[in-house]
Chain A
């Protein structure tokens, strides 16, 4: 159907709905995902269609929820674990950071954990539960981590995650959830886990960004274009494993790299991106790499402090100008 425009949230629900229709082994398990419809309406309509035999409301017990999903996956089911907000992943760390990722490798492939974990992170409408904790998981071998930045990718990456035979974490950004509509393909739509996407080509500087920061990077690219600066925006979208070839190719074209994410800068994904490029494409770099990320404090709650905390277009723009101004 042409002109079918969905929000990010609607696109994700459609992916889950389609996969649950397609495969009886797929089920959804989480808190308040039944008649309540999920935090931010993130599961709306699923309980009504599939009922309590496929959509399981749970007590508050993230560790057991994750463990139950791992055990069910080892027995051949394909669970989708709905952890309402990223910060609650902390309660399930042993299951998600130690057990699930080790299963396939340790058992020489005898065990598989086709588990999808979906969770919401980032700046949102009510400012609550904003912690961007992706880097806790990109550090762990055996996990795949995706962070879609568009409604179409939200559907495509969620579909790929559910069909994948490994544990995949899907980080859904709350600012993107209801904010914009975009054409989303109807029917099966698969965005493979792995490849990054060039959102805007440019020859002067690359901004490698994730989630909401992709939008902000595009905003910066638009501003820069008016000044005659061509910015290439690379949406990493799969954070683990990183699309290193795409990253190197982009830096090969531009020679300059800014990395932007909402998560903390220290020890964040940007550090891995920067180090990888420095190791593998030092010769292509015309300037030092600059990272833009959150400062090193817990995420503040008051709007004034939050604005001071969040990376914005101004900071990303300043980073772009800094790498362009650099001369040896």
Chain B
């Protein structure tokens, strides 16, 4: 049995994972295009929990909204973005789940994956340039870890010993491509050796372990000991998008991984430690469901985006005269 060192943290992470799941369930129900995060919540919650306001977060798109909640964004505001309301952070100009850069979350700026890893490395560069002790945590999928962007960014972050933690949210599928067919390495964490940095593998369905491992990497980065590559092994129990039935993989695979659900795992750990009984857990779920539903209702009343919001005059921060 695991000793839970910080009961308040564990309970807070439980609540966040439950909120994330409740949000995800509704999004999957309402939109076949939603990118589901069911079963992967331990990675964003564990990796980004407890960072300070000066630290920079660059979460993987799958499951990112829960990181915004941790940065202090309200559920209603998260919904405003997802529902494409005028009050969303990007007012319909990009994916509704795009990050609030105001809170030091790096935004998704385009649809391709990988460039964010370099941008996060650049945020860490700025932190070091200024001599602050802030750090940057960036997460991305196993598929993205095969891109040149990953290689170039991690190599540079390692060469310059930047205060950055690279977290692979290995859900084992890049849309339909299983990781075992995408690379010959046995474990993605082994790549750390090729960059001369520390690499740590962690059970990505155990939020307490994910948090402990990433928090240690964050401490090292803050102390000037350079980057760590963390591989958090989890599984995408739904399709790439909600409408994707994932017929390209064995039918029983997802069911086996559902048995290892990270929220249930944490509830067992909390139960054994005497911190959360079954009734308490039920109450957390009921409260979270109600909060998510209520926030959604509130956001639905927000103003709609108008054609004039195209923002032809907002292209530049420094306007060009005569154009």
Contact = CB atoms under 8 A, between A and B. Distances in A.
B322 A98 contact: no
Contacts of A61: 152, 155-156
Given A105-B93, A107-B89, A111-B107, A244 B122 contact: no
B91 A108 contact: yes
Given A194-B320, A194-B323, A66 B118 contact: yes
A59 interface: yes
Given A61-B152, A108-B90, A69 B318 contact: no
Contacts of A243: 322-323
Nearest to B98: A106
Q: How large is the interface on A (under 10, 10 to 19, 20 to 34, 35 or more residues)?
A: 35 or more
Given A95-B115, A95-B118, A194 B109 contact: no
A58 interface: yes
Contacts of A71: 106, 118-126
Nearest to B150: A64
B149 interface: yes
B110 A59 contact: no
B102 interface: yes
Interface string A53-70: 100001101011111111
A102 interface: yes
Interface in A101-121: 102-112, 114
B321 interface: yes
A63 B321 contact: no
B314 A99 contact: no
B102 to A, nearest CB: 5
B314 A94 contact: no
A75 B318 contact: no
Contact of B107 (A53, A63, A72, A103): A103
A75 B126 contact: yes
A250 to B, nearest CB: 14
B311 A105 contact: yes
Q: Of A68, A95, A104, A194, which is in contact with the most chain B CB atoms at under 10 Å from its CB? A: A68
Nearest to B93: A106
A235 to B, nearest CB: 16
A103 B91 CA distance: 13
Contacts of A27: 129
Given A59-B159, A63-B149, A98-B110, A104 B125 contact: no
Interface residues of B, number: 47
A142 B125 contact: no
A141 interface: yes
Contacts of A95: 115, 118-119
A166 B315 CA distance: 9
A70 B107 CA distance: 11
Interface in B53-108: 56, 89-91, 93-94, 98, 100-102, 106-107
B42 interface: no
A106 B90 contact: yes
Contact of A111 (B101, B114, B152): B101
A245 interface: yes
Interface in B189-234: none
Contacts of B118: 63-64, 66-68, 70-71, 95
Contact of B129 (A63, A77, A99): A77
A301 B99 CA distance: 47
B69 to A, nearest CB: 18
B7 interface: no
A144 interface: yes
Interface in A128-174: 141-142, 144, 164-166
- Nearest 10 CB-CB pairings of A with B: A67-B118, A71-B122, A64-B152, A75-B126, A241-B323, A165-B317, A68-B122, A71-B119, A98-B110, A61-B152
24 contacts: A59-B159, A63-B149, A64-B118, A67-B115, A67-B116, A67-B119, A67-B152, A68-B118, A68-B125, A69-B122, A70-B122, A72-B126, A76-B126, A94-B149, A98-B109, A105-B311, A105-B315, A106-B98, A106-B107, A110-B101, A110-B102, A111-B101, A164-B318, A192-B321
